[in-house]
């Protein structure tokens, strides 16, 4: 089920491109703000309390390691994970290989701990966070590839591979028995990644950091959904 939902998030993101107008960037930023606020809230309300309760303060080093990895990945992906790209930075018709590989690595690592959660609540919460994150990133990835004028076959091959990356991480985490003993550390690592991505999204989704009532409403909605999802799970 978790594999289908992760792939389905990409399909839903592609469907949204056909249903809504994302050409002005404003809609994309609001979608990102929603997913960012949800991720940030889940990190504070669920993941951080859970991992610190399990391992104590020392686990914070693993959270920092995940945060640092995402900073390093940003140098290669140019920030695609949090919806940030400038088409002018890439050559027309040329595949931005480092950006794509950085995005793939990000997707793989965030999917790794899904099946390693010790509770049904943890499993559902992490899965929901990844699904809501993948939808806007799919929109951004499609926008980037389309703006570069890549051949259709190449563009769709990249999108399909992106859809498979987090399920591949989930599969690796579930089929290698020795990984299970590091489940809390892998969750902490993913938490660091989520913390970086969510805060960056929230900071970058406002033009010139101006007051934006729509963004505040969207952010509050994401936070409310995160809290309600914890109650439901």
Where along the chain do its domains lie?
Answer: 2-9+27-232
Q: Sort 221 into a burial class: Cβ within 10 Å, 0-12 / 13-18 / 19+.
A: middle
Q: Is the pLDDT of residue 204 over 80?
A: no
| Confidence band for 10, pLDDT divided at 50, 70 and 90 | very high
Q: How confident is the model at residue 62 (pLDDT cuts 50, 70, 90)?
A: very high
Q: 164 or 28: which carries more pLDDT confidence? A: 164
pLDDT confidence band for 63 (50 / 70 / 90):
very high
CB 191 within 8 A of CB 48: yes
Question: What are the distances in angstroms from CA 132 to CA 14, 101, 107, 193, 208?
Answer: 13, 21, 13, 15, 25
CA distance 17 to 4: 20
At 90-105, the pLDDT tens digits run 666 666 788 888 888 8
Mean pLDDT of 125-132: 87
Question: pTM of this prediction?
Answer: 0.84
| Angstrom distance (rounded) from CA 107 to CA 10 | 12
Output phi, psi for 72, to 5 deg: -65, -40
């Amino acid at each position: 089920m978790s594999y289908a939902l992760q792939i389905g998030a990409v399909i839903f993101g592609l469907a949204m491109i056909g249903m809504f107008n994302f050409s002005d960037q404003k809609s994309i930023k609001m979608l990102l703000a929603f997913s960012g606020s949800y991720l940030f809230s889940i990190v504070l309300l669920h993941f951080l309390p859970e991992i610190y309760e399990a391992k104590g303060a020392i686990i914070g080093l693993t959270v920092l390691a995940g945060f640092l990895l995402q900073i390093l990945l940003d140098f290669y992906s140019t920030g695609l994970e949090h919806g940030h790209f400038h088409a002018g930075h890439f050559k027309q018709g040329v595949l931005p290989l480092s950006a794509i590989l950085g995005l793939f690595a990000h997707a793989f690592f965030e999917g790794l701990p899904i099946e390693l959660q010790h509770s049904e609540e943890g499993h559902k919460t992490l899965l929901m966070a990844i699904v809501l994150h993948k939808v806007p990133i799919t929109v951004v990835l499609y926008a980037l590839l389309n703006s570069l004028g890549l051949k259709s076959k190449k563009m769709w091959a990249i999108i399909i591979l992106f859809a498979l990356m987090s399920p591949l991480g989930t599969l690796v985490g579930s089929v290698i028995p020795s990984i299970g003993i590091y489940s809390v550390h892998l969750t902490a690592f993913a938490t660091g990644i989520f913390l970086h991505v969510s805060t960056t999204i929230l900071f970058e989704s406002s033009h010139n950091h101006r007051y934006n009532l729509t963004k505040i409403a969207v952010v509050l909605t994401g936070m409310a959904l995160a809290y309600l999802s914890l109650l439901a799970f």
